[in-house]
Structure 1
Amino acid sequence: MNFCLTVFDLPIAAIWQGLPLDSLVSTQGIMVLLLVAYAGAMWMFLTSAPKVHTVMVSDLNIAQQFYEGMLGLSAADIPLHYYYNYEQTMGTSMDPMMGMGSMPHPLESGAGIPEGLWYQLKKNTQLHVISGASRGHQNRQRHVCFDRDCLELLLMQVQTHGVRHKIRRERPLNFLVKDYDGEVIEMAEVAD
């Protein structure tokens, strides 16, 4: 019979007994303990934060009617990390479909709260809808996104709610939907 003990098999007290007390209370020991505690807190914060997909639209009012009315998405609270300017600043100075454009300056209102619409897509996934996309072909509404997963989730919502749609292209994903007013909305993935 061969026994091999690992650190995980020993009780915590046995591990602490092997460490001299003066090394734990030293400046270096306290700094290491603080760094470990900080790393643990950051890990908990980042793993609990929802994944946020961002979609740029040409008209926020029409987008709100579409996402709330037709897709039935519920409003979501702004994730805490967005209050601390974690927002990816993609597209804040240009329209990805038309080059340099006239998008309003960053995604914050005067109160420091990120602007736009926030929706819950699934349990730990949110949709952040911001203005900034130019109007598309034949002056149609356009919703653009750099993340294919986001558009696939939106397409699934469209199909689940029976919204009329037409897939124009698989790669990069591009599909059209019609809203209640019969207006065509183009959902487009921006390919790298």
Structure 2
Amino acid sequence: MGLLLELTTSNLFSLPPFLGAFLPPIPIDSLFSTQGIMVMLLVAYGGAMWMFLSSAPKVYTVMVSDLQVAQQFYEGLLDLPAADVPLHYYYNYEQGMGAGGLDPMYMSVNPVATGVNTADGLWYQLKKNTQLHIISGANDGNGNRQRHVCFDRDCLEELLLRVQSRRLKYKIRRDRPLNFLVKDIEQRTIEMAEVAN
């Protein structure tokens, strides 16, 4: 009679004993079968994806009416350092977000082509693991204001803190949804508006 060699998952993968108690013993021949190898590859792939996505920076997107004015504002006045495009954005992550639910009031009819690369937008490091992605597409506000719109209140709160710490002139117009005005170097009024979902 042949001796059936079995390895438990706690021996094979060095899992804690309490976790190995919930998993049945796995025969070694089924572990290294095609199906067993595929399962191990899927588990490894899932773990790698989890590590990749959990280490990816949080990205806030702000839609602006003029990328050149926005670049002067975020780099000049707010002194935000430029950031590299996060790896997960190379795989069209933002394409799935769409602007289907965006109020047409915030959208520009004719986006103005500027000297800035409009396809990629602008990328800034807002905090240690948080980036700011500036894209074109918002319309001008009332009185020819530069409008910056965002779906995320946390993003606008971070930007407001940055404005306050730089001692820039600002006026909070509304708290819910957040809307405030800021003056830039050229004394243009920039309207920062939260778009309520």
- Classify the TM-score, shorter chain: 0.7 to 0.9
Q: Deviations for 1:127-177, whole angstroms, at most 9, x for unmatched residues?
A: 000110000001111000111111111111111111110101000000000
Contact 1:95–1:103 under 8 Å retained in 2: no
Contact 2:124–2:131 under 8 Å retained in 1: yes
Choose which of 19, 33, 57 in structure 1 pairs with 2:64. Answer: 57
Q: Residue in 1 aligned with 2:125?
A: 120
Alpha-carbon RMSD across the aligned residues, in angstroms, is 3.0
Tell me how many residue pairs correspond in the alignment.
179
Structure 2 unaligned regions, length at least 5: 1-9
Contact 1:173–1:189 under 8 Å retained in 2: yes
Partner AA of 1:26 in structure 2: S
Are 1:171 and 2:179 counterparts? no
Tell me, in whole angstroms, the C-alpha distance in 2 between the residues paired with 1:76 and 1:99. 26
TM-score normalized by the length of structure 2: 0.81
TM-score normalized by the length of structure 1: 0.83
Contact 1:135–1:141 under 8 Å retained in 2: yes
Alpha-carbon deviation of 1:114?
4.9
Q: Which runs of 4+ in 1 moved over 6 A?
A: 92-95
Contact 1:95–1:102 under 8 Å retained in 2: no
Tell me, in whole angstroms, the C-alpha distance in 1 between the residues paired with 2:100 and 2:77. 28
Identity %: 67
Q: Deviations for 1:65-116, whole angstroms, at most 9, x for unmatched residues?
A: 0000100100000001111111154338976425683458xxxx7xxx9510
Contact 2:61–2:135 under 8 Å retained in 1: yes
Structure 1 unaligned regions, length at least 5: 1-5, 13-17
Choose which of 22, 34, 45 in structure 2 pairs with 1:38. Answer: 45
Q: Residue in 1 aligned with 2:3?
A: none
Contact 2:140–2:147 under 8 Å retained in 1: yes
Give 3-state SS (helix, strand or coil) of 2:157's partner. Answer: helix
